[in-house]
Amino acid sequence: MALRVRHASPRTVETYVHWLRRFIVFHGKRHPRELGPEAITAFLNDLAVERNVAASTQNQALNAIVFLYKRVLDRDVPELEQLVRARRPRRLPVVLTRDEVRAVLTRLEGTSKLVASLLYGSGLRLLEALALRVKDVDFATREIRLRDGKGRRDRVVPLPDALAPLLEAHLMRVRELHQQDLANGFGAAPLPDALARKYPNASREWGWQWVFPATSRYEDPVTGAERRHHLHETAVQRAVRAAVVNAGITKHATCHTLRHSFATHLLTSGYDIRTVQELLGHASVRTTMIYTHVLNRGGLGVRSPLDHF
């Protein structure tokens, strides 16, 4: 409830609950009120030392625990002096060449191909693409408006000309599905924040429907209403992974690799890094700088002496 009051996304709620459950089980299901800084440190150190998790994973667990103590139990968490920080390796992102991207996309079909094309063509994260509403796509201006993206920041990205007619045809089929749901007494999409109270009829409007709806309906655990959620990310992840393997690509390429490739190919085409930062929705240009390695030719831009023979 405390997370929902602060308008946390469903994914954040799910993640925090996961880590708090693990924290409680780790300490023999004792109530967190009975656990102090030493218990928190022991759990986080176990993640870093014994389970060898990434730094981001350990930080995720720490954020969940701090939220529990500060916002739910109304207790401050003192500095964890004995905390062992997980190492944060500096890894370059996996990037596909243009030919490799083409090989992957040509081996996809249907909705998975459309979603993957948006990841590469517009630089979207997978969940950003799946959570698109019909009203977010502007065919006239060839723009996609991302609402409440990562870090709760809005941004505008390009809608590729090559993708527009395919997306329009897809939305015609989605509209038919929505009309069927309405005829059967359903068709209400979940609305963000308090919009459902402010605009009680908006959830059934066409503009608020998912661009990529799921094939089946589900029961909303909060309201008990039967709704249709957006397509689950695993469906696209499996399809993309199969396409990578079938294309004979040995790189560990995932859906997120298509977003990395979008940024990399923009830089190699001459776009400045600030533009790429804005399109990706990075809060700091330092995050975007990771893609500048592609501007070098070979290791550190050095030509091997063997090539002078």
Please give the positions annotated as active site: 125, 150, 256, 259, 282, 291
Of 55, 78, 56, 72, the C-alpha closest to 20 is 72
User: What are 43-46's contacts with CB under 8 Å, separation 24+?
Assistant: 44/80, 44/83, 44/84, 45/82, 45/83, 45/84
Give the tokens for residue 235: 């469906």
Of 165, 150, 187, 167, the C-alpha closest to 280 is 150
Angle of helix 255-268 versus helix 98-106 axis, rounded to 10 = 140
Residue 304 has phi, psi (to 5 degrees) of -65, 140
Count of CB atoms situated within 10 Å of the CB of 115: 25
Cα separation, 152 vs 111, in Å, equals 26
Angle of helix 55-67 versus helix 10-26 axis, rounded to 10 = 90
